[in-house]
């Protein structure tokens, strides 16, 4: 792994002291002192993520809603021994829901996740997760949601890995293999944790997350698990710029070898009525990394079902499905034998017809 660039950071105490110095020594008013501290540190290349940016004495870190939530969770954790029970689980569930609501990335105050992470939130949530009884489904789901909301960058995913997060999550997923809510929230954590972090990907693969994925795909009967397909895509994407040579190609071959490619083809048979069609197609494209795998997908009926989806997407004017299916078909056509099969099955005619229907959409035509 390539060395990471040194990032300059600052503690909350040092930041508060700088603002205080601006007020006491330079005679700035509080708002000006705060703005000057932020600008000065930013120009110096200091990473201010995780810092509560306020005037000392006016709503400090202890008054921050996310930190108050974290403090209460810390207290409940300190009061418990090996496992939570009774009323504690009710309180923990409510606090975890509050924490995830405060930290979701699309909120205006999206810096909350960094603040919680910088103050030990990821380590605490992982510890709490390991102490929740398996039968406490609602609490586990809330814990997974809070965990996913905190995994926003490499530093946070490294904290997750160092805290034993991969083992904890895979263990709970294995125990809750028939619980749709556990699977949805758990694979959301897998996708978030593996994003941009090759070491977490490797940890999850060492824990045989691929076999777990196959088990879920093979036995899935209750509904679509969008996050499962997201997890496959992320695990097979080389997206860690610290890494010189990613292992994802080998992971894709492993996925195909145990039968995940075939299982994904099966999931396409629902056609346009299936809410997972697009996600499953993207996941399958990530698995199709060489000629052998592309052929195996065709042998499993992949080309037939894709051509039908291409036809149906044109008739129903579904641009998203058209783009996605054409993109996967193009990847499968990397195999010469698949090229011939696509032509023999009338694929060229279907693609020409689709092009005519979407003649005004460059994104579809490009695929």
**If pLDDT is split at 50, 70 and 90, which confidence band does 327 have?**
very high
CATH number of the structural domain spanning residue 108: 1.25.10.10
pLDDT at residue number 161: 96
Across the range 133-162, mean pLDDT stands at 94
Structural domain that includes position 44: 7-58
Q: Tens of pLDDT along 43-64?
A: 888 777 767 777 766 666 677 7
Q: Tens of pLDDT along 280-316?
A: 999 999 999 999 999 999 999 999 999 999 899 888 9
| 53/69 same-domain check | no
Q: In the predicted model, is pLDDT for residue 103 greater than 80? A: yes
Q: In the predicted model, is pLDDT for residue 107 greater than 90? A: no
Q: Which of 29, 14, 136, 123 is nearest to 77 (CA)?
A: 123
pLDDT at residue number 54: 72
pLDDT at residue number 59: 61
pLDDT at residue number 8: 79
Q: Tens of pLDDT along 180-233?
A: 999 999 999 999 999 999 999 999 999 999 999 999 998 754 567 899 999 999
β-bridge mates for residue 9, sequence order: 47
Instruction: Say which range, 21-30, 148-157, 250-259, has the weakest mean pLDDT.
Output: 21-30
Total domains in the fold of the chain: 3
19 vs 162, more confident: 162
**If pLDDT is split at 50, 70 and 90, which confidence band does 1 have?**
very low
Whether 212 is covered by a domain: the verdict is no
**If pLDDT is split at 50, 70 and 90, which confidence band does 142 have?**
very high
| 79/194 same-domain check | yes
Across the range 21-35, mean pLDDT stands at 79
Whether 152 is covered by a domain: the verdict is yes
pLDDT at residue number 4: 46
pLDDT at residue number 188: 96
Backbone torsion region of residue 27, taken as left when φ is above 0, otherwise alpha when ψ lies between -120 and 50, otherwise beta? left
Whether 198 is covered by a domain: the verdict is yes
| 158/41 same-domain check | no
Whether 197 is covered by a domain: the verdict is yes
Q: Tens of pLDDT along 256-274?
A: 999 999 999 998 988 888 8
Report the predicted TM-score, pTM, of the whole model to 2 decimal places: 0.85
Whether 241 is covered by a domain: the verdict is no
Distance CA 48, CA 37 (A): 11
| 45/78 same-domain check | no
Whether 242 is covered by a domain: the verdict is no
358 vs 251, more confident: 251
In this structure, what token pair is assigned to residue 362?
């460059």
Whether 216 is covered by a domain: the verdict is no
Whether 331 is covered by a domain: the verdict is yes
Residue count (the chain): 367
| 24/68 same-domain check | no
Instruction: Say which range, 78-92, 94-108, 149-163, 262-276, has the weakest mean pLDDT.
Output: 94-108
**Average pLDDT score, the chain:** 88
| 194/318 same-domain check | no
Q: In the predicted model, is pLDDT for residue 240 greater than 70? A: yes
| 314/231 same-domain check | yes
């Amino acid at each position: 792994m390539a060395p990471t660039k040194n990032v300059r950071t600052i503690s909350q105490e040092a930041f508060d002291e700088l603002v205080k110095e601006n007020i006491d020594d330079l005679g700035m008013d509080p708002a000006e002192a705060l703005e000057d501290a932020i600008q000065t540190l930013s120009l110096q290349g200091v990473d201010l993520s995780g810092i509560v940016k306020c005037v000392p004495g006016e709503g400090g870190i202890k008054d921050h809603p996310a930190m108050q939530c974290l403090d209460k969770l810390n207290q409940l954790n300190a009061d418990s021994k090996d496992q939570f029970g009774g009323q504690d689980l009710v309180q923990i569930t409510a606090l975890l829901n509050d924490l995830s609501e405060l930290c979701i990335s699309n909120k205006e105050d999206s810096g909350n996740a960094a603040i919680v992470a910088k103050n030990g939130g990821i380590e605490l949530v992982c510890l709490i997760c390991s102490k929740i009884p398996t039968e406490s489904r609602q609490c586990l789901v809330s814990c997974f949601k809070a965990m996913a909301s905190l995994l926003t960058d490499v530093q946070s995913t490294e904290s997750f890995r160092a805290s034993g997060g991969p083992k904890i999550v895979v263990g709970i997923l294995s125990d809750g293999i028939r619980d749709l809510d556990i699977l949805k929230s758990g694979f959301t954590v897998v996708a978030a944790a593996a994003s941009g972090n090759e070491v977490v990907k490797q940890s999850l693969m060492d824990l045989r997350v691929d076999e777990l994925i196959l088990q879920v795909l093979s036995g899935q009967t209750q509904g679509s698990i969008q996050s499962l397909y997201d997890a496959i895509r992320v695990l097979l994407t080389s997206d860690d710029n610290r890494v010189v040579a990613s292992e994802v190609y080998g992971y894709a071959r492993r996925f195909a070898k145990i039968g995940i490619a075939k299982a994904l083809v099966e999931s396409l048979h629902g056609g346009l009525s299936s809410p997972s069609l697009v996600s499953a197609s993207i996941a399958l494209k990530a698995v199709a990394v060489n000629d052998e795998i592309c052929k195996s997908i065709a042998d499993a009926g992949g080309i037939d079902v894709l051509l039908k989806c291409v036809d149906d997407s044109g008739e129903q004017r579904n641009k998203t499905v058209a783009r996605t299916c054409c993109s996967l078909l193009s990847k499968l056509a990397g195999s010469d034998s698949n090229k011939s099969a696509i032509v023999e099955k009338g694929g060229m005619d279907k693609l020409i017809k689709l092009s005519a229907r979407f003649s005004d959409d460059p994104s579809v035509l490009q695929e």
